């Protein structure tokens, strides 16, 4: 198997962005109400088509048309869980990638039960969560307060691989540095800006970004790596090239930066020089 790092350059990243914009995958998001508008806009700004069909009946019907499904049970009313299972089952039948963002799993028994049900009933192309959420799902020691990860996670690469092996999904663990893993390998992605942590919902937007890339690209590991890197680079560009006065205006700049992350930006000499694998990407496992 070819090491994905060997194929990750400004040109290949640009080609992934170009593919999204040319194919415009329909991404159906059953997501939490805190960030639903930003998730829709993030999806649109990458070049995909968002639809927020999240009620029983409509969810399954829309999944007939979708190119990718995002399940983010940030709030867990029973009807939404039923809709998630309905949409996920239909997507699995059609071979359409489903991405899980298990927000706050491990913080309450209810959220734990929802995650366990989704994982038992559905197959996922990717699972995206913070270090604590991913560690909890993998059965490792973890602390999640509300929706935030707390503590040290020195073995996050091995933990992400273990979860990938148990679920068959590519795993994206988000933190100061993000980790992308399959059952055999884990990669650290160094991209992003500290202001991303000052805006509620940037984790949800990463989940949406992973769904967009999975909906457009054939290989899930490549999709997750490119999505995570592009997302972090967009966060950096927002801080370095856009005007903002604080977290609220940075949020708008970040969305604008995603919208402006064209294939041409991905191969810009200044940006491409920052894709040096020794700086940005590291194999952990």
Is 80 annotated for ligand binding?
Answer: no
Pair 126, 217: CB distance under 8 Å: no
Burial 79-101 (b: 16+ CB within 10 A, else e): ebbebbbbbbbbbbeeebbbbbb
Closest CA to 10 of 270, 238, 284: 270
Axis-axis angle for helices 10-23, 202-216 (nearest 10): 80
Is 257 annotated for ligand binding?
Answer: no
Cα 28 to Cα 5, 71, 223: the distances in Å are 29, 9, 17
Report residue 21: phi and psi, to 5°.
Answer: -70, -30
Is 84 annotated for ligand binding?
Answer: no
Is 128 annotated for ligand binding?
Answer: yes
Sign of the alpha-carbon dihedral angle for 88, 59, 33, 82: negative
Q: Give binding residues as ranges.
A: 52, 128, 174, 201
Q: Give binding residues for ATP as ranges.
A: 128, 174
Q: Give binding residues for substrate as ranges.
A: 52, 201
């Amino acid at each position: 198997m070819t090491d994905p790092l060997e194929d990750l350059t400004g040109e290949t990243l640009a080609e992934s962005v170009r593919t999204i914009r040319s194919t415009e995958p329909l991404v159906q998001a059953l997501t939490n109400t805190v960030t639903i508008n930003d998730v829709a806009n993030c999806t649109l700004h990458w070049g995909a088509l968002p639809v927020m069909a999240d009620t029983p009946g409509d969810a399954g019907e829309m999944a007939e048309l979708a190119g990718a499904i995002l399940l983010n049970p940030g709030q867990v009313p029973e009807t939404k869980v039923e809709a998630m299972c309905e949409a996920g089952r239909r997507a699995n039948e059609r071979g359409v990638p489903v991405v899980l963002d298990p927000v706050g799993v491990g913080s309450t028994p209810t959220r734990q039960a929802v995650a366990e049900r989704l994982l038992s009933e559905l197959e996922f192309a990717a699972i995206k969560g913070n270090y604590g959420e991913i560690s909890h799902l993998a059965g490792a020691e973890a602390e999640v307060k509300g929706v935030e990860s707390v503590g040290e996670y020195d073995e996050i690469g091995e933990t992400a691989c273990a979860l990938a092996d148990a679920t068959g999904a590519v795993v994206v663990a988000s933190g100061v540095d993000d980790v992308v893993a399959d059952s055999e390998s884990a990669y650290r992605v160094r991209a992003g800006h500290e202001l991303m942590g000052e805006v509620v919902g940037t984790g949800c937007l990463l989940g949406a970004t992973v769904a967009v890339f999975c909906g457009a690209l054939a290989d899930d590991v490549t999709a997750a790596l490119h999505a995570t890197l592009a997302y972090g680079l967009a966060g950096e560009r927002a801080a370095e090239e856009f005007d903002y006065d604080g977290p609220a205006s940075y949020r708008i700049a970040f969305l604008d930066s995603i919208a402006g992350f064209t294939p041409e930006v991905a191969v810009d000499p200044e940006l491409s020089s920052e894709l040096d694998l020794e700086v940005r990407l590291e194999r952990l496992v």
